[in-house]
Structure 1
Amino acid sequence: MREWTILGAGALGCTFAALLTAKHRPVSLLLSERHRRHFHPALEFIALNERRRLVSTHPRHAEQATGIECLLVMTKAYQVLPALNNLRGLPADTPIILLHNGMGVAEAVARAFPHNPLLAGVTSHGALKEGPWQVRHTGKGETWLGPVNDKGRAFAHLLKPLADALGHAEWSEDIVSLQHRKLAINAVINPLTACHHIRNGQLHEPRFADVLNQLAEEVHAVLTRLGETETLAQFLRRLNSVIGLTATNYSSMHQDLAHGRPTEIDYITGYVLKHAEDLPVPVCRQLYNEVKKQGG
């Protein structure tokens, strides 16, 4: 039975660990140096039905990389490459699955690990860290994986254990398009909620109507240039649906700014700005600058 090693012991990484262990899949958490002497051997997981249980995983550190069989990367986008570069001796046949917000990282990972099978994914599961080693599963969603390189295509079989644990997992040969769809939503919701210090649902208040529509138009125009075929009307329906479904949530970017952590703005809005070229995207640029100004 293949062990899943999760790099990124945040809310979502711990939630995936809990869901996998519930299906009797072996899981290890790859921990940073700060956890070496303070690691609590079990985390408290609060399920969607409010049931609480302790989840035991195998702690692993960077020098134990030679034993990693399957690596699920769930760190922040800016942490991915530095964290992977610390894994001396990671076997060349170990699949690396990138499951993080934003885009622009996979290309660098492919260059740094040219011999490893490389996959990328998107998920709409929600999770919240309520305390040290205490996480709450806040929403069930879809998960998609797809190949980044040719070797990654041989690992579609990883979907079955993921689907059993998560409730849904499917394969897409065009994972970039699915990443674009998620990034488009994040590029609207995250910086707006972060800059205005609000929950997602507050974006439906009349005061945000104009900026929400203009930002959506800018993001949609850039994604269209990148080859996406979703119409503006379709994107707006999807955007408004996500805002409604996550109305009581704070976005990850809001939480990062609120807690003084770096944000993923460079891999979300920054990705949009990078590919805008001559397209006018003044709201995107203003929000990018404001997040950076606030410490992001």
Structure 2
Amino acid sequence: MIMHYAVLGSGAMGLRFGILLQQSGQKVDFIDTWDRQVSTITKQGGVYVSRDGENRHLVLINITFPENYHGHPDAFIIFTKQMGLKAMLKRSAQLFDDQQYAITLMNGMGHIEKINKYFKAEKVIAGTAMIGTVLNDAGDVDFIGKKGTGTIHLVNETEKPDKFTKQVVSEFKKAQLGPKLTTNFLGTLLTKVIYNSVVNTLCSMYKLKEGEFISASVSTKLINRLINEAYHVCDLAGIEPLNSKEEEFNAIVHATRDVTPLHYPSMYQDISKQRPTEVDYINGYLYDLGKKYHYNAQAHDFLRDLVHLAEHAEIVTQ
């Protein structure tokens, strides 16, 4: 069976998922609102793809703005930044119907509520992606890691996998995206939020590659403090992450030391290009969730402010 996907938000991760699915035999369209991305890829006839900075080659894809798209996909794969999601969904609203699915593996939290304004819960498949990808420039993407590197978790918002979801998992496996299906909705999403609240923020503030961060003698202390706060927030909220605290610590160490040691996180890429980061939807989300239960996750709140200071510093020091 050939599924028809449309990638809504064709940045680094959107391109990687869409291209790998296309190369595995699925039909994929690409949609974006960044003028230079659309115009560059259209002019080139596709996107230049590298893997770990090598073997740069052109992959043919079609891309358009939401207003000019006339396809009718089975599912939209949503990969916009949190702060741009509302506008993207509004511009794309005419493309949606009640039979289509939304698949989203965005960083942070806050996106599900926006997506639910257009897609019912039983049509939403969410998840997390432990896959590094860099958008070097418009129309130029670098896949970090060897083929098959990285894993993703997929979960139905209803926590009840249906036939369509199982087909998606099968196709994602064929595309070597490493999918694992869970039935713990909030726990799945929070597991990646906790990871990003440590690695994205600390690496990005100090402009460190992930391997450089984990080699620091103080990294263990920082990781444990942030994990402990985050898990306390989850306990108060009645959310059970997929990993225990020890497993989460080990996952962070393994990923940064062994899987993507030469990778700069996406938050660093945003800061270096003078774009706002998603820190309010990551560390800020954990702090705000804790406040609901009268708990002050002060380390996460402090890091949120420091990341915003790093954003400011990148602008004023140029």
Verify: 1:98 aligned to 2:104, yes or no: yes
Verify: 1:267 aligned to 2:267, yes or no: no
How many equivalent residue pairs?
A: 296
Distance in 1 of aligned mates of 2:3 and 2:286: 37
> Paired residue for 1:217?
228
In 2, are the aligned partners of 1:265 and 1:288 still within 8 Å (CA)? yes
Among candidates 253, 266, 282, match of residue 240 of structure 1? 253
Q: Which amino acid aligns with 2:105?
A: L
Q: Which amino acid aligns with 2:221?
A: D
Is the partner of 2:142 in helix, strand or coil?
Answer: strand
Distance in 2 of aligned mates of 1:144 and 1:83: 24
Distance in 1 of aligned mates of 2:112 and 2:50: 32
> Paired residue for 1:194?
204
Verify: 1:77 aligned to 2:82, yes or no: yes
Verify: 1:176 aligned to 2:186, yes or no: yes
Between stretches 105-114 and 229-238, larger displacement belongs to 229-238
Distance in 1 of aligned mates of 2:235 and 2:122: 31
Change (3 A) 1:217 1:150: closer
Is the partner of 1:222 in helix, strand or coil?
Answer: helix
Using structure 1 for the length normalisation, give the TM-score.
0.89
Task: Could you list the structure 1 runs, at least 4 aligned residues long, displaced by more than 6 angstroms after superposition.
Answer: none
> Paired residue for 2:316?
none
In 2, are the aligned partners of 1:71 and 1:97 still within 8 Å (CA)? yes
Between stretches 87-96 and 60-69, larger displacement belongs to 60-69
Distance in 1 of aligned mates of 2:183 and 2:160: 13
State the shift of 1:175 in Å: 3.3
Change (3 A) 1:222 1:115: closer
Q: Which amino acid aligns with 1:235?
A: E
Distance in 2 of aligned mates of 1:150 and 1:221: 23
> Paired residue for 1:287?
303
Question: In the TM superposition, what are the counterparts of 1:1-296 in structure 2 within 5 Å?
Answer: 1-32=2-33, 34-35=35-36, 37-38=39-40, 39=42, 40-47=44-51, 50-65=54-69, 67-69=71-73, 70-90=75-95, 91-114=97-120, 117-139=123-145, 140-149=149-158, 153-156=162-165, 157-204=167-214, 205-226=216-237, 227-228=239-240, 230-245=243-258, 246-277=260-291, 278-295=294-311
Distance in 2 of aligned mates of 1:110 and 1:195: 33
Distance in 2 of aligned mates of 1:67 and 1:151: 28
Is the partner of 2:233 in helix, strand or coil?
Answer: helix
Change (3 A) 1:211 1:23: closer
In 2, are the aligned partners of 1:93 and 1:115 still within 8 Å (CA)? no
Is the partner of 1:9 in helix, strand or coil?
Answer: coil
Distance in 1 of aligned mates of 2:25 and 2:87: 31
Deviations 1:49-70 (A, max 9, x none): 9444321112232124552312
Is the partner of 1:248 in helix, strand or coil?
Answer: coil
Distance in 2 of aligned mates of 1:209 and 1:115: 38
Deviations 1:10-58 (A, max 9, x none): 1121112221222222211102261455433211112469444321112
Distance in 2 of aligned mates of 1:106 and 1:48: 32
Deviations 1:134-184 (A, max 9, x none): 212113211222212489845212222221112522322223222111111
Distance in 2 of aligned mates of 1:256 and 1:223: 28
- Fraction of identical pairs, as percent: 22
Deviations 1:274-296 (A, max 9, x none): 11123332221111112223337
Using structure 2 for the length normalisation, give the TM-score.
0.83
Change (3 A) 1:41 1:273: same
Distance in 1 of aligned mates of 2:121 and 2:209: 42
In 2, are the aligned partners of 1:129 and 1:135 still within 8 Å (CA)? yes
Distance in 1 of aligned mates of 2:193 and 2:262: 20
RMSD of aligned residue pairs (Cα, Å): 2.5
Distance in 2 of aligned mates of 1:237 and 1:276: 24
